[in-house]
Amino acid sequence: ELSQAVVDAGAIPLLVLCIQEPEIALKRIAAATLSDISKHSPELAQTVVDAGAIAHLAQLILNPDAKLKRQVLSALCQIGKHSVDLAVLVVEAEIFPVVLTCLKDSDEYVKKNGATLIREIAKHSPELSALIVNAGGVAAMIDCIGSCRGSVRLPGIMMLGYVAAHSENLAMAVIVSKGIPLLCACLLEEHEDHMKAAAAWALEQVGKHTAEHARAVALANVLPMLLAMYMDTSSSADLQLKASIAKKALKGILQKCTHLPALEPLLHDAPPNIMKYVIQQFSKVLPHDSKARRLFVTSGGLKKVQEIKAEPGSLLQEYINAINNCFPEEIVR
């Protein structure tokens, strides 16, 4: 309501004039004000757009003043976050590839706000994500995440997740740009639960599409990391959320993963509610792969399966039966 009162008083065209004034301090505060008005609703953001603000803001992305860049990126982000249409208007101001330079900026907040702007555009649609990928946005974001630590990484991690979530091809773009090792590094290096949870969620978005995607994630040794995260009982109030995201990520990747060597360690460590997904994958692959069957016996996998206590008639028991049926009875005994 307060922002609407500012709009109704006719302030927006004047604020757009203020962005064009030569004085840097005035540009900064005008951009910040437009950001604060735009953030509340699509309607308020639209009034800022209708006053022609986007073009003037977009021109300031390359301004050398870091504090001004922070505010400009924030304003464009607050406009673009509401809807596909508003995001498209921001993109049409030709902010790509210019905005990618902000991801290399020496100012942490310029980096963070630049990454947040790109994340908010990527989340809306596969088309907008594809545009970002084609502009080199995924590779630039991966470099950015690699160059910093802590919460500055968060919008970049989320952006990779949103891009990967849209389609198989976009997820493959994240894999090809070497996004998986970096997301793994975030799982290992970051100590805050919400950061670990974001990395786990992003890895799930990359790995959930096909067996090929899941294999790429599994080969990076992600599954044991997610399992450890799910089993971790030592963390803070975010624990429930982190554990549930880790579980969902494990489940999403496991259900597509047919690369058995990566699943093998989980046979020994997974609790029953995760075990059923692991056993399910073995029961899908083993009947059709004689080499995998031999390995399964020699590695102790088959022995491990015999030790699992499953409820009679449960899905887990069905999967175990399917695995046992692949082998001669004397081997199973």
Listing DSSP states for 3-43 in one string gives HHHHHHTTHHHHHHHHHTSS-HHHHHHHHHHHHHHHTS-HH
The CATH number of residue 37's host domain is 1.25.10.10
Per residue in 130-162, pLDDT tens? 999 999 999 999 999 999 999 999 999 999 999
- Indicate whether this model's pTM tops 0.85: yes
Tokens of residue 275, six digits: 């075990």
Parts of the chain with a pLDDT under 70? 233-239
In this structure, are 124 and 238 located in the same domain? Answer: yes
Predicted pLDDT of residue 238? 64
Please name the residues in contact with 300: beta carbons below 8 A apart, sequence gap of 6 or more: none
Predicted pLDDT of residue 243? 87
In this structure, are 164 and 68 located in the same domain? Answer: no
3-class DSSP assignment, residue 113 = helix
3-class DSSP assignment, residue 210 = coil
Other C-beta atoms lying within 10 Å of the C-beta of residue 53 = 26
Pick the closest to residue 112 from 50, 167, 70 (CA basis).
70
Work out whether the CA dihedral 272, 274, 280, 282 comes out positive or negative.
negative
d(CA 329, CA 61): 70
In this structure, are 71 and 141 located in the same domain? Answer: no
Predicted pLDDT of residue 235? 55
Q: By CB neighbour count within 10 A (0-12 exposed, 13-18 middle, 19+ buried), where does 159 fall? A: buried
d(CA 159, CA 179): 11
Q: By CB neighbour count within 10 A (0-12 exposed, 13-18 middle, 19+ buried), where does 63 fall? A: middle
For residues 170 and 133, the answer to whether their CB atoms sit within 8 Å is: yes
226 within some domain:
yes
Q: Which of 239, 254, 269 is the last residue of a domain?
A: 254
Q: How many domains in the chain?
A: 3
Tokens of residue 40, six digits: 């509340």
Per residue in 239-266, pLDDT tens? 678 888 999 999 999 999 999 999 988 9
In this structure, are 163 and 115 located in the same domain? Answer: yes
d(CA 31, CA 73): 9
100 within some domain:
no
Tokens of residue 285, six digits: 């692959």
Predicted pLDDT of residue 269? 85
Tokens of residue 293, six digits: 């069957």
In this structure, are 185 and 277 located in the same domain? Answer: no
CA Rg value for the chain: 25
In this structure, are 235 and 126 located in the same domain? Answer: yes
Task: State the residue for tokens 């028991």.
Answer: 317
The domain containing residue 51 runs over which residues? 1-93
Q: Return the amino acid letter for 176.
A: V
Q: Which of 254, 285, 304 is the last residue of a domain?
A: 254
Predicted pLDDT of residue 242? 86
d(CA 270, CA 324): 20
